[in-house]
């Protein structure tokens, strides 16, 4: 529904607001109904993780799908969000909700600083810069042991909102699901805003966009900052949900996992981000019966998707179905 | 519309998860281990050990009339994944006890789940925070870094040396051990007169060692790190002609260190678990039969050299099994009480005497002080120097 390849853009633009959000409405209904089928809190946890990672994936998808830029350090922003809700209440007596906002603001600021000089350049400079940025952050989290607990990580205090202590897997499922739907709706709106149209123009041709009067560097920077905030929010949720955080939240492999979620689900597809996150969060759980071959099969599935569903799961299947219908 | 089909597809993948877990009369033992990823050097031997000994116990008829079923999940060293598996072990697999948690990060992350579910949990990770403060359901088998420091300090005292210089790696292990050595030094009557550090991947520590050499009053040098850093420090130490007694940590207690450091390792002392010097233990050593049997079994069945990490898993499983035998049932609370009453258990890591205030139960005898002579380990007697 929310795919945007060059030939389909006009159709997308003609779609009314309500229809634009119908995919998200479907997701919302599923999120409400599916817990009825959960036999235990384990399933709530897995589903909550899917939504949390999907939030980060949407953010990255905005950057990759609409601005055509790759970030290989997005887990670094998750790390900022995660450690904000851990360090704020623990060391500085800042309430969790405020630490959460500070983390998001800090991520935005860091994205601004990192992105500003780099996004003026063309090509994969951002990918390389974010790669370094992610690694640097992981090193900081390991070495600043006084604040972060070092490689063994630190406890994250339970958030308290209006005197109510947020705890329990089911509570977190609802928080993650509602936040995801909200984040997805926001992203869908953004895509159909002037900023979104400008971004798609950049994605198709930077030169053409510039000729049309689009401030390419500025628009890229805006979307990079927005995507960093999405990742930071996801990181904060993950930390508060798990109650414990280690530097691996911002590790390089986590960044790659986020990119994989976006690519597998479908670049430029918001529903795809959810499917990609679901695939990468659930597959390791489903494949445990394979024991030693688990990693190998996981790799095969990812390769298979990339070979047979080249545009990503959601856009490929959507295209196949619409071809059949036509 | 497509998205709707996609959602249905996603939901059915999810539903596929439901089809896990089947009822059985067996007793389920959970194990979350870092079999792959950066901590696989811990998780891999742990998994192999648990599998071979569970098979062995079952071949002998099981425990309390029930066979053991081992449920192993690989967390890849990631606490987030470990948490999901912990929830699965508790909610879906309905395990009776848990042996695992390869790293401290993973263990600390999953402790709340087992505490809440009231399931005995024997961790295989190092840090002292796991058992301090004491948590009702949580135990651990590996000795702590603090004990390695204390062992070194005790040996120094025997040699009438009290002023030391530390040279430590800044990566996880080296830094954590450095902090603990500094923390326990005053209690042991040792003064740290000088400190140097180096980063992971550094290839020359001559400047740091020159500083130490020029520092008056230093009587011995301790290097806290693992991997190849200590081998370089050892070579530089010899190149600078420093004659002070030199100590390494238990982190380098492997043949690889001797190979890397070469002749420079001559005379270096370090604390290590009995398992590494199984063949050198005296005949009346209580641990000798246990470590020799474990070493033989492990090396025969896995075809790989024995490591202390697998030994931690052996100890954890055996402490659990013996506790269940004493309890006469697999009732979780009874098994937990019996684990806490473990006395005189001879494991690969030492002799375990637990109590309500000590959920580790090892003392300094768990470590042996070794000295490298002619490219091989020799035991330093506890009484002499």
The 10s digit of each residue's pLDDT in B73-98 is 999 888 889 999 999 999 989 999 99
Percent of chain B scoring above 90 in pLDDT: 53
Q: Are strands B27-33 and A244-245 parallel, antiparallel or unpaired?
A: unpaired
pLDDT value, residue A18: 57
Chain A 229-248, residues with CB within 8 Å of chain B CB atoms: 238, 242-246, 248
B44 versus A201: which is more confidently predicted? Answer: B44
Chain B residues with beta carbon closer than 8 angstroms to that of A271: 3, 6-7
Chain B residues with beta carbon closer than 8 angstroms to that of A291: 72
pLDDT(B313) > 90:
yes
Chain A 10-39, residues with CB within 8 Å of chain B CB atoms: 23, 26-27, 30, 34, 37, 39
Which residues, listed in sequence order, are joined to residue B345 by a DSSP beta bridge?
A: B352
Are the beta carbons of B66 and B29 closer than 8 angstroms? Answer: no
Nearest residue, CB atoms, B18 vs list A39, A238, A243? A39
For the segment B219-262, what is each residue's pLDDT rounded down to a tens digit?
999 999 887 889 999 999 999 999 999 999 988 877 788 888 88
pLDDT value, residue B363: 87
For the segment B101-134, what is each residue's pLDDT rounded down to a tens digit?
998 889 999 999 999 899 999 999 888 888 988 9
Question: Cα–Cα distance between B277 and B266 in angstroms, integer?
Answer: 17
Percent of chain B scoring above 70 in pLDDT: 92
DSSP state of B89: I
B330 versus B24: which is more confidently predicted? Answer: B330
Q: What are phi and psi of B306, to 5 degrees?
A: -70, 150
pLDDT value, residue A6: 45
pLDDT(B4) > 80:
no
**Residues contacting A194, CB < 8 A, separation 6+:** none
Q: State the average pLDDT for chain B.
A: 87
Q: State the average pLDDT for chain A.
A: 85
Contact B104 A152 (CB under 8 A): yes
Taking alpha carbons only, the member of A45, A48, A56, A61 closest to residue A315 is A61
Chain B residues with beta carbon closer than 8 angstroms to that of A45: 83-84, 87
Question: Cα–Cα distance between A228 and A108 in angstroms, integer?
Answer: 6
Chain B residues with beta carbon closer than 8 angstroms to that of A169: 87
pTM above 0.90, yes or no: no
pLDDT value, residue B385: 42
For the segment B126-157, what is each residue's pLDDT rounded down to a tens digit?
888 889 889 999 999 998 888 889 999 999 99
Chain A 294-313, residues with CB within 8 Å of chain B CB atoms: 294-295, 313
Residue of A nearest to B32 (CA): A288
Question: Cα–Cα distance between B73 and A287 in angstroms, integer?
Answer: 10
What's the gap in Å between the CA of B262 and the closest CA on chain A? 31
Report angle CA A299, A303, A308 to the nearest 5 degrees.
150
Question: Cα–Cα distance between B260 and B241 in angstroms, integer?
Answer: 18
Q: Are strands B269-273 and B345-346 parallel, antiparallel or unpaired?
A: unpaired
List the domain boundaries for chain B.
2-143+290-354, 145-272+367-379
**Residues contacting A39, CB < 8 A, separation 6+:** B18
pLDDT value, residue B357: 92
Q: What are phi and psi of B243, to 5 degrees?
A: -100, -5
Q: Which two tokens stand for residue A273?
A: 């981000």
Contact A152 B13 (CB under 8 A): no
The answer to whether the Cα torsion of B89, A45, A133, A62 is positive or negative is: positive
For tokens 């996801």, name the residue. A234
Question: Cα–Cα distance between A247 and B313 in angstroms, integer?
Answer: 26
For the segment A205-239, what is each residue's pLDDT rounded down to a tens digit?
888 888 888 888 888 899 999 999 999 999 999 99
CATH fold for the domain made of B145-272+367-379: Rossmann fold (3.40.50)
Question: Cα–Cα distance between A27 and A277 in angstroms, integer?
Answer: 14
pLDDT value, residue A308: 86
For the segment A114-157, what is each residue's pLDDT rounded down to a tens digit?
888 888 777 778 888 888 888 888 888 888 878 888 788 888 88
Q: What are the DSSP E strand ranges found in chain A?
A: 154-155, 160-161, 164-165, 244-245
Q: Which two tokens stand for residue B159?
A: 């040699």
Taking alpha carbons only, the member of B283, B263, B290, B284 closest to residue B349 is B290
For the segment B157-192, what is each residue's pLDDT rounded down to a tens digit?
999 999 999 999 887 778 888 888 999 999 989 999
Are the beta carbons of B203 and B232 closer than 8 angstroms? Answer: yes
For domain B2-143+290-354, the CATH architecture is 3-Layer(aba) Sandwich (3.40)
Reported as a pLDDT band with limits 50, 70 and 90, residue B19 is very low
Percent of chain A scoring above 90 in pLDDT: 30
Residues in chain A: 326
What's the gap in Å between the CA of B368 and the closest CA on chain A? 27
Q: Which two tokens stand for residue B59?
A: 């071949």
| Domains B2-143+290-354 and B145-272+367-379 are alike in CATH topology | yes
pLDDT value, residue A160: 80
pLDDT value, residue A7: 46
Chain A residues with beta carbon closer than 8 angstroms to that of B14: 34, 43, 46-47, 278, 282
Which residues, listed in sequence order, are joined to residue B163 by a DSSP beta bridge?
A: B191
> Residue B238's Cα: distance from chain center in Å?
30
Q: Are strands B27-33 and B97-100 parallel, antiparallel or unpaired?
A: parallel
Contact B112 A243 (CB under 8 A): yes
pLDDT(A11) > 60:
no
Are the beta carbons of B276 and B377 closer than 8 angstroms? Answer: yes
For tokens 């590790």, name the residue. A251
Taking alpha carbons only, the member of B27, B294, B255 closest to residue B141 is B294
Q: Quick one: chain B helix, strand, coil %, rounded to 5?
A: 50, 20, 35
Mean of pLDDT values over B338-346: 92
Q: What are the DSSP E strand ranges found in chain B?
A: 27-33, 68-74, 97-100, 121-123, 138-140, 163-169, 191-198, 220-224, 246-248, 269-273, 345-346, 351-352, 367-373, 376-379
Nearest residue, CB atoms, A142 vs list B79, B91, B172? B172
Reported as a pLDDT band with limits 50, 70 and 90, residue A164 is confident
For the segment A277-315, what is each residue's pLDDT rounded down to a tens digit?
999 999 888 888 877 787 788 888 888 888 888 888 888
Q: Which long-range contacts (CB under 8 A, 24 or more apart) does B360-365 make?
A: B360/B131, B360/B139, B360/B140, B360/B141, B360/B143, B360/B144, B362/B143, B362/B147, B364/B147, B364/B150, B364/B151, B364/B154
pLDDT value, residue B5: 57
Question: Cα–Cα distance between A242 and A172 in angstroms, integer?
Answer: 10
DSSP state of B28: E
Q: What are phi and psi of B120, to 5 degrees?
A: -60, 135
Nearest residue, CB atoms, A321 vs list B2, B15, B112? B2
Taking alpha carbons only, the member of A310, A275, A46 closest to residue B9 is A275
Contact B2 A1 (CB under 8 A): yes
Does the ipTM surpass 0.90? no
Contact A47 B14 (CB under 8 A): yes
How many other C-beta atoms lie within 10 A of the C-beta of residue B149?
Answer: 27
pLDDT(A15) > 80:
no
Q: Are strands B138-140 and B97-100 parallel, antiparallel or unpaired?
A: unpaired
B358 versus A289: which is more confidently predicted? Answer: B358
DSSP state string for B144-192: PHHHHHHHHHHHHHHTT--EEEEEEESSHHHHHHHHHHHHHHHHHT-EE
Are the beta carbons of B313 and B52 closer than 8 angstroms? Answer: no
DSSP state string for B187-249: HHT-EEEEEEEE-TT----HHHHHHHHHSTT--EEEEE--TTHHHHHHHHHHHTT--S-EEE-
Reported as a pLDDT band with limits 50, 70 and 90, residue A16 is low
Reported as a pLDDT band with limits 50, 70 and 90, residue A70 is confident
pLDDT value, residue B352: 92
């Amino acid at each position: 529904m929310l795919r945007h390849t060059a030939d389909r853009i006009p159709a997308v633009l003609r779609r009314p607001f309500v229809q634009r959000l119908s995919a998200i409405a479907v997701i919302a209904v599923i999120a409400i109904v599916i817990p009825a089928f959960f036999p235990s809190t384990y399933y709530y946890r897995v589903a909550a993780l899917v939504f949390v990672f999907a939030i980060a994936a949407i953010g990255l998808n905005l950057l990759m799908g609409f601005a055509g830029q790759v970030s290989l350090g997005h887990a670094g922003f998750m790390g900022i969000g995660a450690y904000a809700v851990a360090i704020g209440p623990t060391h500085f007596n800042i309430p969790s909700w405020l630490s959460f906002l500070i983390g998001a603001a800090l991520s935005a600021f860091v994205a601004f600083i990192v992105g500003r000089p780099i996004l003026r350049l063309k090509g994969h400079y951002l990918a390389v810069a974010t790669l370094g940025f992610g690694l640097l952050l992981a090193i900081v989290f390991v070495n600043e042991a006084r604040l972060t607990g070092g490689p063994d990580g630190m406890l994250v205090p339970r958030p308290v909102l209006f005197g109510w202590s947020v705890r329990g897997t089911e509570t977190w499922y609802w928080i993650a699901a509602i936040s995801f739907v909200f984040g997805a709706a926001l992203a869908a709106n953004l895509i159909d805003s002037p900023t979104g149209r400008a971004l798609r123009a950049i994605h198709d041709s930077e030169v053409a966009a510039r000729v049309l009067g689009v401030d390419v560097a500025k628009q890229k920077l805006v979307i990079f900052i927005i995507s960093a905030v999405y990742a930071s929010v996801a990181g904060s949720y993950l930390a508060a949900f798990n109650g414990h955080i280690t530097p691996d939240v911002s590790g390089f492999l986590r960044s790659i996992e986020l990119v994989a979620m976006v690519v597998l689900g479908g670049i430029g597809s918001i529903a795809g981000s959810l499917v990609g996150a679901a695939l990468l969060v659930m597959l390791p759980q489903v494949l445990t019966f394979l024991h030693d071959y688990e990693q190998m099969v996981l790799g095969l599935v990812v390769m298979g998707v990339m070979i047979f569903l080249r545009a990503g799961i959601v856009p490929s299947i959507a295209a196949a179905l619409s071809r059949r219908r036509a | 519309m497509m998205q709707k089909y996609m959602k249905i597809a996603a939901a059915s993948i999810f539903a596929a998860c439901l089809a896990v877990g089947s009822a059985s009369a067996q007793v389920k033992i959970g194990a979350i281990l870092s079999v792959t990823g950066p901590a696989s050097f811990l998780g891999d031997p742990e998994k192999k050990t648990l599998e071979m000994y569970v098979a062995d116990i079952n071949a002998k008829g099981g425990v309390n009339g029930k066979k053991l079923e081992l449920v192993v999940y690989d967390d890849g060293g990631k606490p987030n994944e470990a948490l999901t598996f912990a929830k699965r072990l508790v909610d879906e697999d309905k395990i009776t006890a848990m042996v695992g948690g390869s790293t401290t990060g993973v263990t600390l992350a999953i402790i709340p789940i087992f505490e809440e579910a009231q399931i005995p949990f024997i961790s295989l990770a190092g840090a002292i925070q796991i058992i301090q403060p004491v948590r009702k359901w949580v135990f651990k088998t590996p000795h702590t870094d603090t004990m390695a420091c204390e062992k070194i300090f005790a040996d120094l005292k025997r040699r009438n040396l009290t002023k030391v210089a530390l040279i430590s790696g800044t990566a996880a292990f080296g830094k954590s051990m450095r902090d603990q050595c500094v923390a326990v030094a005053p209690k042991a009557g040792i003064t740290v007169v000088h400190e140097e550090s180096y980063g992971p991947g550094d290839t020359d520590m001559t400047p740091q060692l020159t500083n130490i050499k020029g520092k008056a009053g230093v009587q011995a040098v301790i290097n806290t790190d693992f991997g190849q850093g200590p081998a370089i420090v050892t070579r530089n130490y010899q190149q600078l002609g420093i004659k002070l007694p030199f100590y390494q940590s238990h982190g380098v207690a492997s043949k690889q260190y001797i190979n890397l450091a070469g002749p420079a390792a001559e005379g270096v002392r370090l604390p290590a678990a009995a398992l590494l010097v199984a063949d050198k233990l005296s005949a009346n050593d209580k641990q000798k039969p246990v470590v020799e049997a474990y070493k033989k079994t492990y090396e025969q069945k896995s075809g790989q050299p024995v490591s202390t990490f697998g030994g931690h898993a052996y100890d954890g499983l055996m402490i659990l099994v013996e506790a269940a035998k004493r309890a006469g049932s697999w009732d979780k609370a009874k098994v937990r009480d019996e684990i806490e009453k473990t006395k005189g258990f001879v494991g690969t890591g030492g002799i375990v005497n637990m109590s309500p205030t000590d959920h580790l139960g090892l003392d300094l005898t768990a470590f042996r002080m070794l000295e490298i002579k002619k490219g091989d380990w020799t035991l330093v007697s506890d009484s002499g120097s």
